[in-house]
């Protein structure tokens, strides 16, 4: 069971950034391409769980005349967020919530495209209750097809069709920083590039993205805020498109958000500095960022935002992996070959900055 100290909200467990964590990483922690003792010992053998399951957060009932092309009417539910979870038998950490990015689903965090352990399993093995979401209108969260059916039935103008986005292999290659042009890969790339070859397992993970058609901020943000409150303290780990979601959730309420880890957020603009200053935050980037204008701009904006949060008394760090001797990581660093080394660094940051001296039993 988690000690009650570990179940406090993010505001009550805030620990000031001491400036020593990065120095520690430059030392013994990074010497390790292998994981330190506690992690290594838990990486093999069966996993014993207290429970596993799934549920939805949010959602609302709506009346629709477009449940089919023939004009079927009825009440149905939209804007719900799907959550799956595993709770280890022994819990030593706060819950962690893994939030996928554009054109993907919660599969991002499961088994890697080349069959290795993903972060979902890893954090459970490290004794975190681990929650994986599918964004609203993505994957098992479903989407509102009313407008599509109404246009198809001639009841609405074609301009009412929702905007649906998907990245082709060629454009995704550069978005995910496998290389500067398809299909050439960076030397020393950590991503298992054969998984992004013809009919590769990575491409099979990608799905259409309707976020541009949803209210902004996306209903996923409110659902994440509610999930954090329900969990009585959780660490939100976002990626890319969802990078800003934890910050936007903090604007709704800091209650329950114990920590934020934003992995290569798409942007860090128009965010609530005062709210984020209450929450320990890490913003993480991989390699070759400067070679892409969009990612270089993202890093610059997030660095400026971090300076504002720091000036407001917050505990926030922007970390580029090459600066601590870790090279070759793509935008999909949770699937790169060194993904568990990076996950272990996150555990160290959580233990120092979020959980502090809290104990378990």
User: Where does 73-158 have alpha helices with state H?
Assistant: 119-125, 146-152
Beta bridge partners of 234: 257
In whole angstroms, give the CA distance from residue 93 to residue 44: 19
Which among 360, 361, 354, 249 is positioned nearest to 9, based on CA atoms? 354
Output helix, strand, coil percentages for the chain, rounded to the nearest 5.
40, 20, 45
pLDDT in tens, 1-17: 444 333 333 333 333 33
Peptide bond into 217 cis (omega under 30): yes
Note the pLDDT tens digit of each residue in 125-142: 999 999 999 999 999 998
Work out the average pLDDT over 57-64: 92
Cα gap 256→7, rounded to integer Å: 9
Degrees (nearest 5) of the Cα angle 228, 329, 261? Answer: 15
Give yes or no for a cis peptide into 327 (omega within 30° of 0).
no
Range with the poorest average pLDDT among 12-21, 36-45, 213-222, 252-261: 12-21
- Tell me how far apart the alpha carbons of residues 66 and 138 are, in angstroms, rounded to a whole number: 19
The pLDDT of residue 42 is 73
What's the whole-number average pLDDT of the chain? 89
Range of weakest confidence among 18-22, 33-37, 341-345? 18-22
Average pLDDT over residues 51-62: 96
Tell me the percentage of the chain whose pLDDT exceeds 90. Answer: 78
Residue 237 is inside which H or E element, if any? Answer: strand 234-239
Best CA proximity match to 280, nearest among 237, 242, 344: 237
Question: What is the tens place of the pLDDT at every residue in 25-43?
Answer: 333 333 334 555 555 667 8
3-state secondary structure of 216: coil
Distance, C-alpha 271 to centroid of its chain = 17
Q: Are 256 and 228 in contact (CB under 8 A)?
A: yes
Helix axes 219-230, 245-252, angle to 10 degrees: 70
- Whether 15 and 323 have beta carbons less than 8 Å apart is answered as no
Closest to 262 (Cα-Cα) out of 241, 284, 277, 279: 284
Spans of all domains in the chain: 4-355
DSSP three-state, residue 246: helix
How many other C-beta atoms are found inside a 10 Å radius of the C-beta of residue 360? 14
Across residues 157-167, what is the average pLDDT?
Answer: 92
pLDDT at 38: 57
Do 168 and 196 touch, CB atoms closer than 8 A? no
pTM attached to this predicted model: 0.88
Q: What is the pLDDT of residue 31?
A: 35
CATH domain 4-355 topology? Rossmann fold (3.40.50)
Residue 356: pLDDT band (50, 70, 90) is confident
Quote the CA–CA distance of 350 and 361 in Å, as a whole number. 18
* Alpha-carbon span 287 to 171, nearest angstrom: 18
- CA dihedral angle for residue 29, residue 35, residue 40, residue 42, rounded to 10 degrees: 90
Structure-token pair, residue 44: 């093999």
pLDDT in tens, 73-104: 899 899 999 999 999 999 999 999 999 999 99
pLDDT computed for residue 126 by the predictor = 97
What's the confidence (pLDDT) of residue 40?
66
Confidence of residue 159 (pLDDT cuts 50, 70, 90): very high
pLDDT higher than 60, residue 228: yes
């Amino acid at each position: 069971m988690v000690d009650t100290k570990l179940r406090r909200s993010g505001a009550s467990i805030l620990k000031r950034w001491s400036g020593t964590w990065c120095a520690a990483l430059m030392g013994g922690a990074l010497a390790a391409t292998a994981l330190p003792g506690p992690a290594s010992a838990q990486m093999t053998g069966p996993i014993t769980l207290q429970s596993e399951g799934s549920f939805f957060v949010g959602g609302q009932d709506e009346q629709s005349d477009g449940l089919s092309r023939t004009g079927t009417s009825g009440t149905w539910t939209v804007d719900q967020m799907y959550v799956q979870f595993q709770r280890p038998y022994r819990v030593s950490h706060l819950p962690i919530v893994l939030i996928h990015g554009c054109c993907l689903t919660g599969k991002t965090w499961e088994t890697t495209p080349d069959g290795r352990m993903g972060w979902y399993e890893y954090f459970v093995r490290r004794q975190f209750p681990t929650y994986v979401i599918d964004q609203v209108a993505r994957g098992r969260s479903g989407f509102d097809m009313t407008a599509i059916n109404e246009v198809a039935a001639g009841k609405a103008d074609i301009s009412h069709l929702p905007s649906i986005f998907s990245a082709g292999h060629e454009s995704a290659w550069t978005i995910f920083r496998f290389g500067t042009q398809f299909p050439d890969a960076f030397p020393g790339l950590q991503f298992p590039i054969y998984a992004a070859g013809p009919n590769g397992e990575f491409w099979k993970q990608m799905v259409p993205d309707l976020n541009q058609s949803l209210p902004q901020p996306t209903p996923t943000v409110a659902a994440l805020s509610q999930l954090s409150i329900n969990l009585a303290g959780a660490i939100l780990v976002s990626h890319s498109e969802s990078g800003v979601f934890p910050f936007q959730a903090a604007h709704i309420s800091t209650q329950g958000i114990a920590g934020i880890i934003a992995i290569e957020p798409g942007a860090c603009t128009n965010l609530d500095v005062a709210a984020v200053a209450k929450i320990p935050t890490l913003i993480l980037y991989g390699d070759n960022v400067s070679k892409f204008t969009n990612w270089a701009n993202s890093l610059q904006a997030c660095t400026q935002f971090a300076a504002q949060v720091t000036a407001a008394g917050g505990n926030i760090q922007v970390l580029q992996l090459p600066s601590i001797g870790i090279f070759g990581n793509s935008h999909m660093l949770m699937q790169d070959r060194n993904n568990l080394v990076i996950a272990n660094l996150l555990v160290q940051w959580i233990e120092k900055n979020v959980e502090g001296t809290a104990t378990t039993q």
